[in-house]
């Protein structure tokens, strides 16, 4: 299928290692020369922040005793058969992601993004993306007026639903495409240049398959929320979660340096131990979701340790693609932004390819796709 990570043969690996510095220089040159940068990340990218990878996340006593692996736990069925286990797992993932700082790689790539976005290609792409988006919006409006709903045309995603967060502007010469669900991209990148192919832990949905069609099918967890999870049993009791106005519910920037120093000390002590659920290795998250702009619909019914749907009050679940999951609600608007930006990019590439060689300033586009931490366990990023 071509979606397996390339594994060099032993002699190839030897060659690559021998030429390590030369290869780094070549990669750096490709990055530097590129007009457009696409960042594709998988679990390995999150692991560098001190978060657990799939192989390790469920490696704790509570799950071992119940003979449960990550694959067993990461299914929607627990929501009904054992809600305390379900919210224990997802609640603790949520807590872990919420408190952990994205690693420095994010801000390094942000600098590259800024460099690409200052070029002419970025302005052209942004303009194309804007035009294309408005075209699709206009088409959607006409269809709605003619009484067609989006359910008539599942293959044609329409921008008619209210979005779970506000979006401003259009992506330029950068986009990130990730299978990670920690939503850490939103601390660094703009909301209009992020595609999360498996959803993220910040967005929640109803557990009932056909609830609130046409309404706000996905909603945000409040910034101050955290789940109460017993990390011995990994169970989340049904009672109230932490109230949103609890003293430590807002990111606390004071004493930051000290906390980081302490955590780094802990980190080096346990350098041999891989991160697991509730046992992450990173430092305190500094600017959680800085670029996921709020809008009014947050805080819906999200006051409990087992949160509920804002429409029908059934149990809510993270809008994350799980195993054996027929009920996941994708962020359609995000999917559409990615799709529209791709179309714009392809159209600009075609335009440049047609231009003659003498056409100054119309050289073929150089696109750099940077893949980081996409293993072969869950291979979405290669499809």
State the first-to-last Cα distance of the chain, in angstroms, to the nearest integer: 8
In the complex, the smallest distance separating the C-beta of residue 200 from Zn ion, rounded to whole angstroms, is: 17
User: Which range in 130-138, 250-258, 308-316, 347-355 contacts Zn ion by CB under 5 A?
Assistant: 308-316
In the complex, the smallest distance separating the C-beta of residue 204 from Zn ion, rounded to whole angstroms, is: 9
Among 211, 218, 235, 281, interactor with Zn ion by CB under 5 A: 211
309 binds Zn ion (CB under 5 A): yes
Among 206, 229, 236, 281, interactor with Zn ion by CB under 5 A: 206
Q: For 173-204, give the secondary structure using H, E and C.
A: CEEEEECCCCCHHHHCCCHHHEEECCEEEEEE
Q: Distance (Å, rounded) from C-alpha 102 to C-alpha 156?
A: 34
User: Which range in 91-99, 240-248, 301-309, 341-349 contacts Zn ion by CB under 5 A?
Assistant: 301-309
Contact call for residues 43 and 53 (beta carbons, < 8 A): yes
- Find how far residue 265's CA is from the centre of its chain: 29
Of 187, 160, 163, 188, the closest CA to residue 174 belongs to 188
203 binds Zn ion (CB under 5 A): no
Among 31, 55, 212, 315, interactor with Zn ion by CB under 5 A: 212
Nearer to Zn ion, 327 or 347 (CB): 327
Nearer to Zn ion, 109 or 211 (CB): 211
315 binds Zn ion (CB under 5 A): no
In the complex, the smallest distance separating the C-beta of residue 218 from Zn ion, rounded to whole angstroms, is: 8
3-state secondary structure of 232: coil
The DSSP string of 8-75 is --HHHHHHHHHTHHHHHHHHHHHHHH-SEEEEEE-HHHHHTTTPPPHHHHT-SHHHHHTT--HHHHSS
Of 376, 324, 282, the closest CA to residue 75 belongs to 324
Residue ranges of alpha helices (H) inside the chain are 10-18, 20-33, 43-47, 54-57, 61-65, 70-73, 78-81, 83-99, 104-117, 120-145, 256-269, 332-354
Nearer to Zn ion, 63 or 219 (CB): 219
Give the single-character DSSP code of 261.
H
User: Which range in 81-89, 118-126, 172-180, 206-214 contacts Zn ion by CB under 5 A?
Assistant: 206-214
In the complex, the smallest distance separating the C-beta of residue 159 from Zn ion, rounded to whole angstroms, is: 19
User: Which range in 164-172, 274-282, 309-317, 330-338 contacts Zn ion by CB under 5 A?
Assistant: 309-317
In the complex, the smallest distance separating the C-beta of residue 128 from Zn ion, rounded to whole angstroms, is: 35
Nearer to Zn ion, 67 or 210 (CB): 210
How many residues in the shown chain lie near Zn ion by CB under 5 A?
8
In the complex, the smallest distance separating the C-beta of residue 212 from Zn ion, rounded to whole angstroms, is: 4
Query: Parallel, antiparallel, or unpaired: how do β-strands 174-178 and 36-41 relate?
Result: parallel
**CA atoms within a 13 Å half-sphere pointing along the CA-CB vector of 186:** 26
Nearer to Zn ion, 277 or 309 (CB): 309
Q: Distance (Å, rounded) from C-alpha 330 to C-alpha 98?
A: 21
User: Which range in 5-13, 204-212, 272-280, 317-325 contacts Zn ion by CB under 5 A?
Assistant: 204-212
3-state secondary structure of 94: helix
Nearer to Zn ion, 298 or 371 (CB): 298
143 binds Zn ion (CB under 5 A): no
In the complex, the smallest distance separating the C-beta of residue 244 from Zn ion, rounded to whole angstroms, is: 20
Among 28, 312, 346, 369, interactor with Zn ion by CB under 5 A: 312
In the complex, the smallest distance separating the C-beta of residue 325 from Zn ion, rounded to whole angstroms, is: 17
In the block, which residue shows the tokens 């101050």?
224
In the complex, the smallest distance separating the C-beta of residue 207 from Zn ion, rounded to whole angstroms, is: 7
311 binds Zn ion (CB under 5 A): yes
* Cα 29–Cα 373–Cα 67 angle in degrees, nearest 5: 175
Chain residues that interact with Zn ion, rule: CB under 5 A: 206, 208, 211-212, 309, 311-312, 314
């Amino acid at each position: 299928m071509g979606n397996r990570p390339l594994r060099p043969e032993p002699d190839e690996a030897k060659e690559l290692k021998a030429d390590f510095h030369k290869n780094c220089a070549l990669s750096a040159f490709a990055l530097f020369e590129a007009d457009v940068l696409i960042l594709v990340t998988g679990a390995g990218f999150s692991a560098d922040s001190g978060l657990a990878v799939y192989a390790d996340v469920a490696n704790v006593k509570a799950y071992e005793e119940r003979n449960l692996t990550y694959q067993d736990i990461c299914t929607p069925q627990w929501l009904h058969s054992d809600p305390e286990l379900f919210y224990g797992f997802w609640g603790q993932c949520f807590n872990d992601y919420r408190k952990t700082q994205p690693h420095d790689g994010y801000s390094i790539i942000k600098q590259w993004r800024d460099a690409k976005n200052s070029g002419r290609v970025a302005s052209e792409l942004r303009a194309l993306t804007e035009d294309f988006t408005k075209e699709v919006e206009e088409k959607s409006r006409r269809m709605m007026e003619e009484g067609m709903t989006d359910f008539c045309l599942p293959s044609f995603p329409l921008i008619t639903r209210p979005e779970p967060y506000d979006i401003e502007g259009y992506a330029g010469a950068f986009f990130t495409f990730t299978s990670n669900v920690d939503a850490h991209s939103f601390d660094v990148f703009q909301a209009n240049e992020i595609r999360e192919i498996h959803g993220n832990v910040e967005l929640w949905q109803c557990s009932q398959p056909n609830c609130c069609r046409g309404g706000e099918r996905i909603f945000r967890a409040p910034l101050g929320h955290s789940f109460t999870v017993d990390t011995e049993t990994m169970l989340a009791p049904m009672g109230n979660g932490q109230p949103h106005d609890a003293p430590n519910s807002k990111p606390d920037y004071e004493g930051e340096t000290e906390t980081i120093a302490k955590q780094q000390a802990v980190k080096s002590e346990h350098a041999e131990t891989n991160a697991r659920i509730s046992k992450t290795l990173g430092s305190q998250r500094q600017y959680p979701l800085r670029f996921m702009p709020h809008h009014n619909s947050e805080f819906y019914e999200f006051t409990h340790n087992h949160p509920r749907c804002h429409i029908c009050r059934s149990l809510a679940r993270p809008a994350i693609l799980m195993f054996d999951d027929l009920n996941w609600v994708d962020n359609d608007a995000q999917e559409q932004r990615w799709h529209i930006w791709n179309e714009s990019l392809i159209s600009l590439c075609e335009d440049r390819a047609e231009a003659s060689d003498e056409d100054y300033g119309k050289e073929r586009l150089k696109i750099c796709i940077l893949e980081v931490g996409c293993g072969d366990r869950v291979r979405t990023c290669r499809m």
